[in-house]
């Protein structure tokens, strides 16, 4: 049955006159020759990456169908197949939008979705993306996108690259990209500007314990100058942004590029501000995903009790502020866009959703951090990264109240409890009260001989949730902002320059 619904989009577009003026301005800024288009390339096609590129395609690509002024393309790995169950959901979405049905019929593509629904054909993620559907957000159609599956081909002549890969995947992909750019031109000053949408961190111990933020990873593997690396973050839920809901973001980086790019990316319903502080925003981008998992667990355990969730929010924000003071000499305040981004992620992001599924026993930690239809849950690896950094024996800080030298993790009870809940280390027993002892190995899988049926897994998971809730109650016994002396922290007071390594 066809349900008459309107495809999201048009209301949030610039006028044709203003859009063309923006195109001329950005082409002039990058000194693009008249005989070729400005090449904007998306790397990765998760929900936010696909939506971001679809917004650029709809805003600017629609003004230039011959692609003489701008060419918007997106790269994703080929070969990921779509299950029959997902194909059924996808056909249901298609049939909810008459304009999408007409578009697919005009392209001769509608029948393949019927065949996939019947199990007579297998679709791939790159194939449906060309038709305007993201494998991680099948309930909402995008516009058709120009998809390239050859990485080197995609980036060879890029002027602007939008990275939306999870931080865990970016290193390997950008090593290849850096090699490609070096082959084309050995001078990094001639390489593209990269805008990173990625969240998460890498924790390394050589030559000393430190984390790498996504832009630092890209810098280290490509050699791209730091001033050409931007970070864009904000309180954005991909489906809501594409649906035309009003949203804001911050583009952080060197003033040389960020001002002009912020104007180019801005639209009536998607306002882009600019800011100089990359580190605080990237660190917060990773931290909010960590604490969002805990928010989801608390939401499940308390039946979304607003009062209990606000207590958790207070604890999480206090710890996030303390951690950013460790990692940045002059961190931006947890206010405005940073606070809003934290709020919406803890309320309604994929990491919060994941925590809630764990809290209800609908998903299990040992099944891993990749969830069909959702992609990678970035908060899982980020939790491990921050914990390993802040618990390393060589990392110390003066206790903000007593002056005693302690490990940072000792005064961060929420992060510590989250790590214990999610950890796959042999030494961590998540269910001390379970009748049958259970410890996960380093792969996150149940060791041989300790397999549990679903009822046992649910019971064990809910016991772990109870333990987490009790840990959060203990953490709230005193005011977290007072126990961390946040009001007395001055810029640079506890900053350790080695912990967030950029070179």
Model pLDDT, residue 215: 94
Give the chain's mean pLDDT: 88
For residues 124 and 166, membership in a common domain is answered with yes
Is-contact 262 23, C-beta < 8 A?
A: no
For residues 170 and 211, membership in a common domain is answered with yes
Q: What is the pLDDT of residues 98-136, one digit of tens each?
A: 999 999 999 999 999 999 999 999 999 999 999 999 999
| φ, ψ at 224 (rounded to 5°) | -65, 135
- Report yes or no on 1 lying in a domain: no
Model pLDDT, residue 495: 85
Model pLDDT, residue 419: 95
Mean pLDDT, residues 221-227: 95
Of 11-25, 280-294, 479-493, least confident by mean pLDDT is 479-493
Q: Is 288 tagged catalytic?
A: yes
- Report yes or no on 241 lying in a domain: yes
For residues 189 and 320, membership in a common domain is answered with no
| % residues pLDDT > 70 (the chain) | 91
Is-contact 94 60, C-beta < 8 A?
A: no
When pLDDT is cut at 50, 70 and 90, the band that residue 451 belongs to is low
Res. 223: pLDDT tops 50: yes
For residues 284 and 229, membership in a common domain is answered with no
396: three-class secondary structure by DSSP: coil
Q: What is the pLDDT of residues 20-32, one digit of tens each?
A: 999 999 999 999 9
| φ, ψ at 373 (rounded to 5°) | 85, -10
What are the Cα distances from residue 202, in Å, to 179, 184, 192? Answer: 21, 29, 24
Q: 398 pairs with which residues across the strands?
A: 405
Q: Which of 276, 295, 317 is the last residue of a domain?
A: 276
For residues 372 and 414, membership in a common domain is answered with yes
What's the CATH code of the domain at 431? Answer: 1.10.1040.10
Which residue in 228, 288, 374, 420 is the catalytic one? 288
Q: 210 pairs with which residues across the strands?
A: 204
Model pLDDT, residue 399: 85
CA nearest neighbour of 337 among 275, 255, 268, 289:
275
368 vs 105, higher pLDDT = 105
For residues 321 and 213, membership in a common domain is answered with no
Task: Map tokens 């070096």 to a residue.
Answer: 182
Task: Map tokens 């194909």 to a residue.
Answer: 87
- Report yes or no on 449 lying in a domain: yes
For residues 270 and 310, membership in a common domain is answered with no
- Count Cβ atoms below 10 Å from residue 472 Cβ, excluding itself: 22
- Report yes or no on 431 lying in a domain: yes
Model pLDDT, residue 8: 61
When pLDDT is cut at 50, 70 and 90, the band that residue 501 belongs to is low
When pLDDT is cut at 50, 70 and 90, the band that residue 7 belongs to is low
Rounded CA separation 230/246 (Å)? 23
Which pTM was predicted?
0.86
Angle made by CA atoms 273, 60, 184, in degrees to the nearest 5: 90
Rounded CA separation 503/500 (Å)? 10
Res. 346: pLDDT tops 70: yes
Q: What is the pLDDT of residues 226-274, one digit of tens each?
A: 999 999 998 888 999 999 999 999 999 999 999 999 999 999 999 999 9
Rounded CA separation 176/36 (Å)? 25
When pLDDT is cut at 50, 70 and 90, the band that residue 6 belongs to is low
When pLDDT is cut at 50, 70 and 90, the band that residue 448 belongs to is very low
For residues 289 and 322, membership in a common domain is answered with yes
Pick left, alpha or beta for residue 329 (phi over 0 → left; psi -120 to 50 → alpha; otherwise beta): alpha
306: three-class secondary structure by DSSP: helix
What's the CATH code of the domain at 201? Answer: 3.40.50.720
How many domains does the chain contain in total?
A: 2
- Report yes or no on 494 lying in a domain: no
Q: Which of 256, 276, 296 is the last residue of a domain?
A: 276
Res. 400: pLDDT tops 50: yes
When pLDDT is cut at 50, 70 and 90, the band that residue 440 belongs to is very low
Mean pLDDT, residues 368-386: 87
For residues 218 and 360, membership in a common domain is answered with no
What are the Cα distances from residue 352, in Å, to 248, 250, 430? Answer: 20, 22, 20
Model pLDDT, residue 441: 43
Of 9-13, 124-128, 149-153, 440-444, least confident by mean pLDDT is 440-444
Model pLDDT, residue 317: 92
- Report yes or no on 233 lying in a domain: yes
Is-contact 79 111, C-beta < 8 A?
A: no
Domain that holds residue 216: 10-276
- Report yes or no on 179 lying in a domain: yes
- Count Cβ atoms below 10 Å from residue 143 Cβ, excluding itself: 19
When pLDDT is cut at 50, 70 and 90, the band that residue 5 belongs to is low
41: three-class secondary structure by DSSP: strand
Q: 250 pairs with which residues across the strands?
A: 233, 273
When pLDDT is cut at 50, 70 and 90, the band that residue 410 belongs to is very high
For residues 240 and 343, membership in a common domain is answered with no
């Amino acid at each position: 049955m066809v349900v008459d619904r309107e495809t999201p989009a048009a209301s949030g577009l610039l006028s044709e006159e203003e859009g063309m003026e923006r195109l001329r301005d950005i082409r002039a800024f990058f000194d693009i020759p008249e005989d070729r288009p400005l090449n904007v390339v998306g790397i990765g096609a998760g929900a936010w990456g696909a939506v971001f590129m679809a917004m650029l395609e709809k805003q600017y690509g629609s003004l230039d169908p011959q692609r003489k002024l701008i060419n918007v393309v997106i790269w994703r790995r080929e070969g990921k197949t779509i299950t029959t169950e997902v194909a059924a959901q996808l056909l249901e979405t298609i049939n909810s939008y008459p304009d999408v049905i007409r578009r697919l019929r005009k392209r001769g593509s509608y029948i393949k979705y019927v065949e996939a629904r019947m199990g007579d054909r297998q679709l791939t993620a790159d194939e449906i993306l060309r038709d305007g559907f993201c494998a991680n957000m099948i309930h909402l159609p995008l516009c058709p996108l120009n998809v390239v599956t050859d990485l080197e081909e995609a980036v060879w002549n890029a002027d602007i690259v939008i990275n939306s890969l999870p931080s865990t995947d970016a290193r390997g992909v950008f090593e290849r990209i850096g090699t490609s750019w070096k082959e084309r031109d050995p001078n990094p000053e001639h390489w593209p500007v990269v805008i990173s949408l990625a969240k998460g961190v890498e924790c390394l111990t050589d030559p000393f314990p430190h984390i790498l933020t996504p832009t630092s990873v890209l810098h280290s593997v490509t050699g791209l100058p730091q001033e050409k690396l931007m970070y864009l973050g904000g309180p954005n839920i991909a489906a809501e942004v594409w649906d035309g809901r009003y949203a804001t973001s911050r583009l952080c980086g060197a003033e040389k590029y960020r001002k002009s790019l912020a104007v180019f990316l801005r639209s009536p319903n998607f306002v882009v501000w600019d800011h100089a502080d990359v580190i605080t925003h990237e660190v917060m981008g990773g931290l909010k995903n960590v604490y969002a998992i805990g928010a989801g667990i608390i939401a499940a355990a308390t039946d979304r009790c607003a009062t209990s969730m606000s207590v958790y929010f207070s604890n999480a924000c206090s710890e996030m502020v303390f951690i950013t003071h460790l990692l940045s000499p002059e961190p931006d305040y947890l206010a405005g866009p940073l606070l809003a981004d934290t709020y919406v992620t803890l309320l309604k992001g994929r990491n919060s959703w994941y925590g809630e599924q764990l809290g209800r026993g609908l998903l299990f930690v040992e099944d891993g951090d990749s969830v069909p239809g959702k992609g990678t849950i970035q908060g899982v690896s980020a939790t491990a990264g921050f914990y390993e950094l802040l618990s390393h024996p060589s990392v110390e800080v003066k206790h903000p109240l007593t002056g005693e030298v302690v490990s940072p993790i000792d005064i961060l009870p929420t992060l510590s409890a989250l790590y214990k809940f999610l950890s796959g280390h042999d030494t961590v027993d998540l269910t001390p009260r379970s009748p049958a002892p259970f410890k996960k190995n380093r792969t996150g899988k149940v060791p041989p001989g300790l397999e549990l049926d679903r009822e046992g897994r649910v019971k064990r998971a809910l016991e772990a949730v109870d333990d987490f809730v009790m840990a959060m109650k203990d953490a709230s016994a005193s005011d977290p902002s007072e126990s961390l002396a946040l009001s007395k922290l001055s810029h640079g007071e506890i900053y350790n320059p080695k912990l967030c390594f950029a070179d």
